[in-house]
Amino acid sequence: MPVAAGLCCKPGGFHIDPVRPVERAVITHGHSDHARPGHGAVLATQETLDMMRLRYGDNFAGRTQAVRYGEEIRLGDVRLKFHPAGHVLGSAQIAVSCKDTCIVASGDYKDASDPTCAPFEVVPCDVFITEATFGLPVFRHGHAADEVKKLLASVALFPERAHLVGAYSLGKAQRVIAVLREAGYDAPIYLHGAMEKITHYYQSRGVALGELRAVRGMKKSDLTGTITLAPPTATSDIWTRRFPDPVTAFASGWMRVRARARQRGVELPLVISDHADWDGLTATIEATGAGEVWVTHGQEDALVHWCQTKGLAARAARPRRLRRRRRR
């Protein structure tokens, strides 16, 4: 049930990805719009708990419980099971079963290949709660490997310049690095300081990323021809002056919209997303076999309409109070 704090399961006494502190929270993954500190208890995968600890400190929750993929947990009359969401390291879909009904809260997910996390798993269910970040037909992401080829072609074309790739620090940056390695790029890859902690954590969990170096302390001349990963905000501030004639790139599904790339001053847009695109969203909904779909986190109306044309019961999964505000 959508309430002000987020999705609430009253029979189990917990919320999923609550937006305010609650007594018991089940967290799908470590991004800050889903994983917030201050809960009495948190259930999540070990990787998600570790991410929250890295970001918020050791006391981010009163107590924690790590849950493995496929492990069943009972809370009251409710059974919980975590399944891979394919979004970032440790991301999970939460299957909530009570009596003869199964509801799956997918969190954020993607069905595309990603060497840095467990692949997405379709979970048959009666009710599917789906994100809709890219819930419009215009968003078709293509293959990350093809976008990385564009980056490597630019590096070859401009060997005298440095390439700065804006990417979110949890998930996207590590995926870009891993796909670069799969493409055969074996030179050191440089990291903005804000990227180091989480990227090294990925390596500690066995994700192969090759040789990585901190960009701080490097001479400008030594960064010629290199690739550096940085938070998107860093690629547009004075921090970039340490690089020789930098080529600014940005890895995001939003780069499908060229106007967004121009607005951000992005020279090399890379359409690489950690969310399902329109085809991924619709294919996943059909694959679950769900007769009812709740849509949240994004372009809800278009996906709700698509579901209804397929004969599915569908609605936006927002608290009523928030829906009233939006109508105003």
Mean pLDDT for the stretch of residues 13-22: 95
Residue 26 has pLDDT above 70, yes or no: yes
pLDDT tens digits for 63-116? Answer: 999 999 999 999 989 999 999 999 999 999 999 999 999 999 999 999 999 999
Residue 319 has pLDDT above 90, yes or no: no
Q: What is the DSSP letter of 236?
A: G
Q: H/E element holding 306?
A: helix 300-309
pLDDT tens digits for 47-58? Answer: 999 999 999 999
Mean pLDDT for the stretch of residues 220-232: 97
The values of phi and psi at residue 70, to 5°, are 85, -10
**What is the rounded average pLDDT for all residues in the chain?**
94
Q: What is the DSSP letter of 69?
A: B
What's the pLDDT at 132?
Answer: 97
Task: Return d(Cα 212, Cα 199) in angstroms, integer.
Answer: 9
pLDDT tens digits for 195-219? Answer: 999 999 999 999 999 999 999 999 9
Buried b (16+ CB within 10 A) or exposed e, 206-217: ebebeebeebee
Indicate the pTM of the whole model: 0.93
Residue 264 has pLDDT above 70, yes or no: yes
Inter-residue contact 51 to 35 (CB < 8 Å): yes
Inter-residue contact 111 to 146 (CB < 8 Å): no
* Residue 182, Cβ density class (10 Å: 0-12 exposed, 13-18 middle, ≥19 buried): middle
What's the pLDDT at 263?
Answer: 80
